[in-house]
Amino acid sequence: MQNNVLRLSWQVYLMAEDSNRDTLPGMGPLQEALRALLPRTKEELKLDLSENVHRSVLILLQQATNLFYEGRRSECLQTTEALLDYSWEKLNTGVWRDVDKDWRRVYSFSCLLKTMCLCETPGDATTVAAALKVCDMGLLMGAAILGDILSKVAAILQTHLLSGKRPAQGPAQEQPGIKVSWWDCR
């Protein structure tokens, strides 16, 4: 009787674990191209951060990396959001030149993981555009990581969007403005 209860609770645990995983029904060309840029395993993904980064942040970044490589997309997104919020505060306190480069790397790694999570399942052009925006923020505010991987990811995302899969223009998106010179106003 006790063995049956243990077996049943183990099965429930395994089912719960499986329901927490985001399944990948099959990667499309975008996902394959992005995955090809990353190291094949989480152990190969070297963070290389100094002691200037709080240990708790390093642990959270490692956790986000593990979640991504385990296919737990939604949990990885939540973790990267926390990392992005915290590192954003670090980037925006004080003079920019005094910001430690490792905090910019934390921001870049967080942007990379969030971008990859957003593109992990086949999505619409709006999702890809959102991923490109995250990637662009990493390029603007972060530091180069993994052989300037964010530039490569951005190029792939732009190519994907330019291949006719652009997001639909909605009322919330701004239309390009018409440039008016001073001479036209006279």
Question: What digits encode the pLDDT tens for the residues 91-132?
Answer: 998 888 889 999 999 999 999 999 999 998 777 888 999 999
Question: What digits encode the pLDDT tens for the residues 47-62?
Answer: 889 888 999 999 999 9
d(CA 22, CA 113): 15
How much is the pLDDT for 162? 85
How much is the pLDDT for 29? 83
End-to-end CA distance of the chain: 92
CB 67 within 8 A of CB 78: no
How much is the pLDDT for 80? 96
pTM (two decimals): 0.73
How much is the pLDDT for 121? 76
How much is the pLDDT for 125? 85
Q: pLDDT: is 45 or 72 the higher one? A: 72
Residue 173's pLDDT band, with cuts at 50, 70 and 90, is very low
CB 151 within 8 A of CB 142: no
Residue 164's pLDDT band, with cuts at 50, 70 and 90, is low
Return all residues near 108 (Cβ < 8 A) that are at least 6 apart: 138, 142, 143, 144, 145, 150
